[in-house]
Chains A and B, each alone.
Chain A
């Protein structure tokens, strides 16, 4: 897609610094949803961008944009640019599916085409540039993507599933992002917890890790994990004690499989978010996983989210897949052949 990420990032940085300055002056207002362990800077980011978007949409645009725009591209300062409902979520599916092109030749065909893709088509333009709403949507989507990476998985989600938590060798989010190697190994404390609390030699060890999108875990895991655990138990398999890994990457499953002596290991990880969705989760499975084994031995089920394969259906599919892996004693490329 033809998006100037650097530009968007710069704009967001400006917005954030402005917001932080406002907050320092006492004018800031933290509007973000209450999460646990949230990095306060990032909470401000989402909340304030929402606020800014609403300000712009509700009338500030006259002052913000009016002076800089000529009449090119059909812009008439005395008329509203378009009807932005300040109460609606501009990142929602419904709003994104609404064409922004002025006077399309075939409006119905345009809507049909827009239904077929999540790409930003049918958005029109203002002169050579994006329309205000398109730009705002991009910024909001980008903010969501950043939040997905930077925020932590809700503690409620972990508690509801009765998972205990361990951490990798990463000390914080920053280290997690910059040192992939540390995200593949458990901390000493983590190793001890796993040894103490997990049953040994299960057929299947299930793990949940934040990976690069905590949003994805928040959105899906509560509907996948119970379906899968029910399914595996009904199939008569010995299911290991599931737990949560903070700052975890996919390959941490290898160490865990070795620690507990699991035949099959399956880790749920939030996928690096894009501007399309921040809610995509994947499951990586391996038979007889070993530290340092080739990636080709992993089987992956990707795109678990509400617009991909739904969480409950993924759980049901994984139930059969895990049985197949146990049956064939193989995973990854070996399983396909």
Chain B
């Protein structure tokens, strides 16, 4: 374990319509060179196994069939030749409409044994957008070509949009637009019209209800309206449908400001294949996916931008989840060996002002802030995060270490560990200095080079690469 240089990561995506599993190998190496401090980085990411695409098993409209889902995942582990204990890391994500099912939390728990002893994560719509954009290759493209790229992951229930510029995430958002918002049975009778689809139908001036015979003209009008909404979302075409965009904005997703100067657009998700490739059978999937793909292909979204065919379409999210959710800490850190793994630890982040107070030895404002946050929920542990300083001096570091100790003594019962995440590369020094505090009866974990925000959750795995680094997953949302 100590000498491991690769992480086997599993990604499990339970989407609105499909469920998939992938295994990836993340190769680590010390890029620091012989004469300097080690700098471990993930140098290669390889997807080593992709499952087939399963329909997500449902018991009812609002319940996922947990047992059937477990069977699918267990079978895929066997086919791939791995046991759950072989995986070092992984992410189980429940996306799109599946995340709104009544038992999504239970589903997540039941799948957690498959992700090794390390990571289970759930995703909110913003996180899904990011994961899909990384899995599709849009993120890499933006870095390789130093340009601004949008990725639209159009699935069964939602369209996750992310905007990258040179590897930076500029904006994330999500709309309730997808291929399965309206479904029909083989007899051509409409069996489902989601609320968002009803909004789009109304906007298009047509009436579509459950029990109607499906009418290609009417449904085309609806999907064209959806395409127009996506166009407007990226700043193309009509601008007067803001009200509609607000109505179909996925709950929990961020605002997506109308972007400028987008150079390339990637489509991923199940509908992407139907955009890039015309399907002969309009009703092949018993939903409006084919029509939606056609409407998007015929819209300016497809013609106004440099259009890119991604490396992954329908698998973008699961590849993203398996391959891009795990990062590693900086290589000079402090920790206690036996504390890992740590799961679902909420982050309380100090802004520059509070950090300054901490470095100046003023603990009261920080204590007030932490107590306020802890008062809002009943979390026991938390990670204290801060931006850190670029080149701090010895005395201010020493003061900060003493402050952090005092703060933790005030807000946490004795024996609870001190968990620190710092952005700038100073965690080893800070961790050592906290440990040197007299009569400190707490374990200390201080890692750096990880960016977290207030309210996010963090998982930390067991140390790797001779104990130099710790694998880390940062999550935006967990259920329950």
Contacts and interface: CB of A to CB of B under 8 A. Distances in A.
Bind each other: yes
Interface of A: 106, 109, 112-113, 222-223, 226-227, 230-231, 234, 300-303, 306, 308-317, 319-320, 336
Contact of B36 (A112, A302, A315): A302
B362 interface: no
29 contacts: A109-B166, A112-B146, A112-B166, A222-B393, A223-B394, A227-B397, A227-B429, A231-B436, A234-B435, A300-B35, A306-B390, A310-B429, A311-B391, A311-B394, A312-B394, A313-B37, A313-B332, A313-B425, A313-B426, A313-B427, A313-B428, A314-B37, A315-B394, A316-B334, A316-B428, A316-B432, A317-B332, A319-B432, A336-B34
Given A223-B393, A302-B36, A317-B37, A310 B425 contact: yes
Contacts of A311: 391, 394
Given A316-B429, A316-B432, 12 more contacts: A109-B166, A223-B392, A223-B394, A230-B436, A308-B36, A309-B425, A310-B426, A312-B392, A312-B426, A313-B332, A313-B426, A313-B429
A74 to B, nearest CB: 26
Contact of B391 (A226, A231, A300, A306): A306
Interface of B: 34-37, 146, 166, 332, 334, 390-394, 397, 424-429, 431-433, 435-436
Q: Which 6 A-B pairs have the closest CB atoms?
A: A306-B391, A316-B428, A316-B429, A312-B429, A223-B394, A226-B394
A309 B436 contact: no
Given A310-B392, A313-B429, A302 B332 contact: no
A222 B394 contact: yes
A222 B391 CA distance: 12
A300 B391 CA distance: 21
A305 to B, nearest CB: 8
Contact of B432 (A106, A231, A303, A309): A231
A112 B34 CA distance: 28
Contacts of A223: 392-394
Main secondary structure of the interface of A (DSSP, over half): helix
A336 B166 CA distance: 37
B416 to A, nearest CB: 22
B166 A230 contact: no
B429 A301 contact: no
Contact of B394 (A227, A234, A309): A227
Nearest to A310: B391
Given A112-B146, A227-B429, A301-B37, A312 B436 contact: no
Contacts of B431: 316
A158 to B, nearest CB: 16
B467 to A, nearest CB: 10
Nearest to B446: A316
Given A112-B146, A302-B36, A234 B393 contact: no
Contacts of A319: 432
A231 B401 CA distance: 14
A230 B433 contact: yes
Contacts of B394: 222-223, 226-227, 311-312, 315
B423 to A, nearest CB: 13
A226 B393 CA distance: 10
Nearest to B261: A108
A309 B146 contact: no
A263 B377 CA distance: 53
A334 to B, nearest CB: 13
A234 B398 CA distance: 14
Nearest to A220: B391
Nearest to A110: B146
